[in-house]
Every structure is written in C-alpha cells, then in structure tokens.
A and B are shown apart, each in its own frame.
Chain A
Amino acid sequence: MAPDPLVRVTGLRKTFGTRRVLDGVALDVRAGEAVALLGPNGAGKTTLLKILATLVRPTRGAAAIGGQDCARRPEDVRRLIGLVAHGAHVYEDLTALENLRFWAALWGLRLPASDLAAALADVELERHAGERVRTFSEGMRRRLSLARFVFARPRVLLLDEPFAGLDQRARKWLEEYLQAFKAGGGAIVMATHSFGRELAIADRLAILVAGRIALDTPRAALTSDDVQRLYALHTENGS
C-alpha cells in the first residue's frame, strides 16, 4: 500500500469578498515528489501556497501537511514546512551568519557556530558569512533563505517562483538543491511561470485555471513544447 501523501488538498475553496480564487482544488503530493503549479496570473497558485503555509485560511475544504490540518493545527504544520516566497525572510542590515543565528534562535535551536557555518557552506555562502545581506544578489538571498532549512529540516518545501531573478549558475545550483531535497524524502510544491529546464525537477504538473486544477499530469514524458501546448490549450479554454 502506498504511504499517505505528505501534502493532501481536498475540495479547497477560497473566496476574497465575492471573488472566488480557489474552487474545489484537490492535490496530493507524496514524499520524494515535486509538483509544479502552472497557471496564468490570478489563477490561485500563490493563494494555494499560502493556505499550505498556514498564512491564509481556506473558506471551505481542507489542506493538510504530514496529516496535520493547515487551518486547525498551524503550529504543527509550521514545523514541517519551509516557505520560500517573494521575500526571502532575511534582514538587510545583518550578515548572512547573523541572519541564520537569529532564525535558529527564534526556532528554539541552540546551534554552535560550526553548525551555522556548515549550513552556509551547504548553500555555498561560506565565503560571504560576514557580509551584510544588503550587498547580496537575488540568488545569494534565495540561497541564504534556503540555508535556514538546513537545520530546520522541513519535510515539505513550498516555493513561489523560486527561479525568478536567478542567473544560470544560481538556477543550476537551485535545481541540484531541490533534487537532493526530493532524494532525501522531502516533497515540493512549486508555483512557477517557467516552462524551461527548471520544470525538470517536477514529477507532476498541475495547471491551475480560474481557481481549478484543469490538468494534473506526470511530467516525465513531456517535452518543453508539450508543456507549452498543454498550457495554451487549458488556459485559453479556461479563461
């Protein structure tokens, strides 16, 4: 029997005022699996990620991570997730090492300096440990944001446009990082507008259109052209 999915979304609906942003979304993501959420602006990708991250409560339906309901047990869910969204959750006037030290302490972890240095080395920022984040590129900020998860060890990564603003080297690094995260038994839900090679980390594609999942399909057999064709087909029909 297959193990229970790490992420389970059933009949999820979210309305803001009279606007229905999500409407009956269902999605399962298993350990070691990555799902890419594709869809036009306003399709509900970010809202779905925010519900999974316990930042927004659903109007109807349920979202659960590791068997814990996101709306009813947000504290338990927060111990299982790592969110990388548009803001990198880093303080501009602190150094990379100070940022890590702060987040570790806030999570109640007492880590020696060697562990923090190792976390920075894991994201290839060890040479910049003493530099202020204000001087960092977008890619370095993204890596610093991910460094927090080296010691927090989330089981699910929620990523909103993780490749946006990254150069080729940073993209390659992130792809490898996410592949390693999956290989370690983690699950990934990633919202993206990209049809490029970044989709290679996804095992499944889910196309969201007007708050509904219009297509949920394995990615392995699909070429980039296939993805673009399917995307055009579903978004043009749905919008």
Chain B
Amino acid sequence: MTYARRAWAVVWKDLLVERRSKETLNALFFFSLLLLFVFQFTLGPDRERLAAVLPGLLWLGFILSGLLGLGRTFLVERENDCWEGLLLAPGDKSAIYVGKLAGNLLLMLVVEAVLVAMFVVFFNVDVGGVWPGLALVIVLGTIGFAAVGTLFAAMTAQVRARELLFPVLLLPVQVPILLATVKATEAVLLGEPLAAVADWLKLLVAADLIYVVVGVLTFEFVLEG
C-alpha cells in the first residue's frame, strides 16, 4: 500500500503542477495543431493518398508530441533541487518511476485523444466503427513509448545536451513499438478485425511488459546517477 501511495503522490503532484502551469499541455496542443496544418497542406484532399499515409501521420504526431512532453518530465525536478529531495526520500525509488510513468501516460493519452479528434475533423476520417480497436492500439503503443521515454527522460535530465540526446536514445529503442502500432493502426482503420493484427498486438503487449519491467528495475540506478 505504501508503494502505491508513494506512486500516487507523484502522479497527483505532477498533474497538479501541470494543471496550474499548463506548460506542457499548451505546448503539445499548439504543436499538434501545427502538425495537422502542415499535413493538411501537404496532402490536400486526395483520399487515396491519405488512406495510405494516415496511420504513419497519426503516429508521427503522437511521437513528436510525446517527445516534447516526455522530455519535460523531469525538468520540474531540477527546479529548487527537488531531484535531490526525491533521491533522499527513503523507500523504493521505482515508486517514483511508476508515478511519473502514470502521469505521462495520462497526459499523452489526453493529447492523443485530441489529436485523433482533430484528424477526424481535418481529414474527414470515419472512425465510428473502429474506435475500440483504434483505442486499444493507441493505449498499448503509448504505454511502451511512455515507459522508455520516462526512463530516458530521467537519464538525460541532468545532461547538458539533453534535448539532442533524448530523442537520439529513445527513437531506436521504439522501433518495435512503432512498427507494430503503425501496422496495427493501418489494419484497424481499413476495418479489419483485431484478430487480423493479433501478432502485432502480442508484440506490443510483450514490448510494454519488457519496457515497464526494465524501467522499474533500473530507475533507482538512473536516479542515483
């Protein structure tokens, strides 16, 4: 119970800070809107071209906005040396990771929901019949992305070139997730049943499990530096 309460304290604190400052959410919404405008101007009204590239574009939007959001996760801990405070708090440090991960996941899913809604409006995409499958793929893909992103954000938080290092470290590790999510999203948007993409979903679940477990096991060493 103490572990869960400590993790929840981190989620509560991060979401409260974000609600007050709105720094990350505002940046992500405007960035997403900008991306959509660029995509819209580039692709135009050609629906065939759009159908072919939509899954990739959707995940490009998620990844780019996720990079922005995750990269800021530990910046709040640098202010007033709160990082030291986290380190000095007695108890299992992985609870801090779990809390940070849960907070990031919530923020990313909110942004992604808005991004999907904007895609629907901007590109006149019908997701009415496929939204449960689409939601499942998005949630599974986001868990894996956030799990590694949270860990790498902690690793690079104290590094001078963190803006460069963070995506350079993160993106290669995300290849299995990206491959599975784009393929699964493509199939779901074409109206295929989830059973048709079961292999990709299994890969996503396995990658999520591995990334979360690695994050939980290694976070203490990352925090200790």
Contacts and interface: CB of A to CB of B under 8 A. Distances in A.
Interface in B19-57: 20-21
Contact of A91 (B13, B87, B91): B13
Contacts of A105: 5-6, 8-9
Contacts of A106: 6, 9-10, 86, 89, 91, 96
Indicate the member of A53, A90, A93 with the most B CB atoms within 10 Å.
A93
A118 to B, nearest CB: 20
Interface stretch (B73-81, B165-173, B187-195): B73-81
A86 interface: yes
B126 interface: no
Q: Which size bracket describes the interface of B in this complex?
A: 20 to 34
Contacts of A90: 80, 82
A102 B79 contact: no
A172 interface: no
A75 B17 CA distance: 28
Nearest to B10: A106
A177 interface: no
A55 interface: yes
Contacts of B13: 91, 94, 98, 102
A88 B8 contact: no
Contact of A55 (B5, B17, B84, B90): B84
A4 interface: no
A55 B88 CA distance: 8
A55 B16 contact: no
Interface stretch (A9-17, A76-84, A183-191, A225-233): A76-84
Contacts of B12: 102
Interface string B144-182: 000000000000000000000000000000000000000
B90 A132 contact: no
Given A55-B84, A83-B84, A93-B16, 6 more contacts: A85-B84, A87-B81, A89-B82, A89-B84, A108-B90, A108-B91
